[in-house]
Amino acid sequence: MELPEELYLEIFSYLPQHHLRLVSRTCRTFATLTKSLMFQTIHLDGSAQTVFGRVEDGQYEIHPARSRTVEVGSLESTVDELLALGIARHVRKLKFSPGYYVDGFWSNYRQWLEREVDYEEDFHSMYEAEDFETDSEGEYPGEYAGIRRRAEERLARPGKERNLIEQAEAIWVSKVEEQRERTDGILAALVKLFAHMPSLKAIEIQEWHCDLSDYGFVDDIDNEVSEQFSGCSTTWKHLELLSSALQASNSHVQSLVLPKIHPSSITTSAALEHMFSSLTTLSFNAESVDFLLESSNNEGSLLASLICHASQTLQTLEFRNITTSHPQLPEVGEHYIEKLLGSVSAPVSTYTPLVFPALKTLKLRSLLLETPSLINFLSQQPKLQYAHFEYVYLTSIGYKWHNVAQKLPPSCNKLYIGRCGHEKRALDSPAAYNHIKPFLPFKEEFPSTSGWRLNEMAFQREMDDDLQRQLDAGMAGVLPPDQMYMGKTREEWVAMMRLASDHAEFERI
C-alpha cells in the first residue's frame, strides 16, 4: 500500500545522509522526494572527495551533494552545474571551503624551510657534547640515532625540494592570476547562486588545507604550511566574497559559523554589516585572544562593531568554537569579555557591555576571564536562558563560579560548567590557568543562596550512556563483573566518578 508523499517525506527526514542515498536509488518517486533532504546541505570544498566522508563536530559526516573538487577559480562552472541540476532551491546550509591559492606562498615556504634548518642545526649542536648517537645502552636503543636520521632528512629538504618548489610555484602563479582575472565573474556567479537559494538559512566557512603531497612533497607538512601561512586571512576573504554576493542578491542568512580568525585580518564593509544584521546564530573562534587584554590596543574593535550590528537579532552566540581543532587555552592573561561584546564610551574609553535583547544561548570556551567584566555582561542580558562555559578560568580574587551563577539574569534556567577553574592558588599567583584551582562541581556544590543546584538527572543520564556504550562495544561479555567497575559495584563506581567529575549541568532551584 502506498503512503502519501508527505508521510514518506516525514519518515525519510529521520534518516542519515548515507541511508538517504540508498533510498534515492530505489525508484524515481523516492529519488524526487529525497532530493530536498539530500541537498539541504552542500559543501563546496577544495579537497578531493572521498568515499569515507569525515568527522565534523564529533559526528561522522558524508556530503553526497559534493561531486567534485571546487576551487575559487572554478566557482563559475560549479554554480552553473548546481543550477542545471536543480539543487540550489533545496539548499538550507552552505559549507564553503573551496581551494584558494595564496599569492606569495612559496616565498613564505622557502623562509619556513630555512627556519626548520636553523632549528635542526641548533638541535644538533645541543647534543654534540652528549654523544648524541651513542645511545645503545639507553632505555630505547637507537632512539637518538633515529632522531638524527630524521633531522638530517629535514636538513636535506631545501636541496631536494628545489625543483619541486619551482614547478609548484609556476602552478600557484597561474592559479593566483586566474583568481584575480575572474574576480568579477566569481562574484556574479555567487550572486546568481544565492538568487536561486530561497531556502538558504546558514553559511559555514571552513578551512581548506592544501595537500602538497600532490606535488611530490613529503606528506607530513604542518598546519601552518597547509594553510599557506594565511588561514585566518583566507577565511575573512571568503567571508567578504560571500557577504558581497548576499548583499548584491538582496539575500540574508540567519546562521554564520567561522573557524579561527584573527583581528588583524578583519575588515568591515556595508556588505558585512548587511550580513551580520540578520544573524540569529553566530559561532566563531579567534586564533589569539590577546585583543581582550586590558593593555592591548583596539585591534578587536572592528570585530566588536560587526557583532554590534548583529546584537538586535542574535539568539545564539558561541565564542571560541570547536570547528577544525580545540581552541588553545592562553597561557597567561586576564581577558575582558566586554572588549569583544561591548562598546567604548567616550571620553574616558570605558567599555559598556552590549545588550542582546533576543540572546538565549551563550557559549564561551578557552578563556581566562576577568570576573567582574563577565558578571557585568551576563547580568545585562534580559532573555538569556542557557549559559555554557568550557575551559574558562576565573582570574579575579574573591570570585567563584557560584558568584557568577548568582548574577545570571532571572530568565536563565540552565548552566553548564565544564573543565573550568576558579581561585588562584596564592594571592600573588599570575593569571594563568595552571595557577588556578580546578573547579570540581560535585565536590564544591553551590551554596543554596546562589539559587542553583546540580542537575543530578543529567549526571545519571551521562553515566547510563557510558554504560550503554560499554555494552554496545561488547565489554560486558569480555570483562568479568569485578573489572567492569575497577573492582567496585556500579553504585560505588558512579559515586567515585561523581566526586571526580570536572563538569556538570546546573538548574534553578
First to last CA, the chain: 52
Closest by CA position to 245, among listed 39, 76, 85, 68: 76
Residues recorded for the chain? 509
Given a cut of 60, whether residue 477 has pLDDT beyond it is: no
Query: Over pLDDT 90: what percentage of the chain?
Result: 55
pLDDT of residue 347: 46
Q: Report the percentage of the chain scoring pLDDT > 70.
A: 85
In what helix (H) or strand (E) does residue 84 lie, and over which residues does it extend? helix 75-84
* Nearest CA-CA partner of 186 in 22, 71, 274, 73: 73
Asked whether residue 38 carries a pLDDT value surpassing 60, the answer given is: yes
pLDDT band at 219 (very low <50, low <70, confident <90, very high): low
- Overall pTM > 0.95: no
pLDDT tens, residue by residue, 333-382: 899 999 999 876 544 457 889 999 999 999 999 999 999 999 999 999 99
Phi, psi of 205 (to 5 degrees): -90, 130
Which residue has better confidence, 478 or 450?
A: 450
Burial 218-235 (b: 16+ CB within 10 A, else e): eeebeeebebbbbbbbbb
Please answer whether residues 302 and 286 qualify as being in contact, where contact means their C-beta atoms are separated by less than 8 angstroms.
no
Asked if residue 133 has pLDDT above 60, the reply is no
Q: Do the Cβ atoms of 330 and 292 come closer than 8 Å?
A: no
Q: Which CATH architecture has domain 42-101+189-456?
A: Alpha-Beta Horseshoe (3.80)
Distance CA 184, CA 187 (A): 5
DSSP E strands, 395-483: 414-418, 421-424, 436-438, 452-454
pLDDT (0 to 100) of residue 264 = 85
- Asked whether residue 65 carries a pLDDT value surpassing 50, the answer given is no
Residue 348: per-residue pLDDT: 46
- Mean pLDDT over each residue of the chain, to the nearest integer: 87
- Is the pLDDT assigned to residue 4 strictly greater than 50? yes
Q: For 386-407, what is the mean pLDDT? A: 97
Neighbours of 178 (CB within 10 A): 14
Identical fold for domains 1-38 and 42-101+189-456, yes or no, is no
pLDDT-derived band at 193, boundaries 50, 70, 90: very high
Instruction: Give whole-number Cα distances, 5 to 2, 10, 17, in Å.
Output: 9, 9, 19
> What is residue 213's predicted lDDT score, i.e. its pLDDT?
87
Tens digits of residue pLDDT in 102-113: 999 999 998 888
Domain spans, the chain: 1-38, 42-101+189-456, 105-173, 457-508
- For 1-38, CATH number? 1.20.1280
- Residue-wise pLDDT for 456-465, tens only, equals 999 999 999 9
Of 56-70, 180-194, 233-247, the poorest mean pLDDT is in 56-70
The one-letter amino acid code at 482 reads D
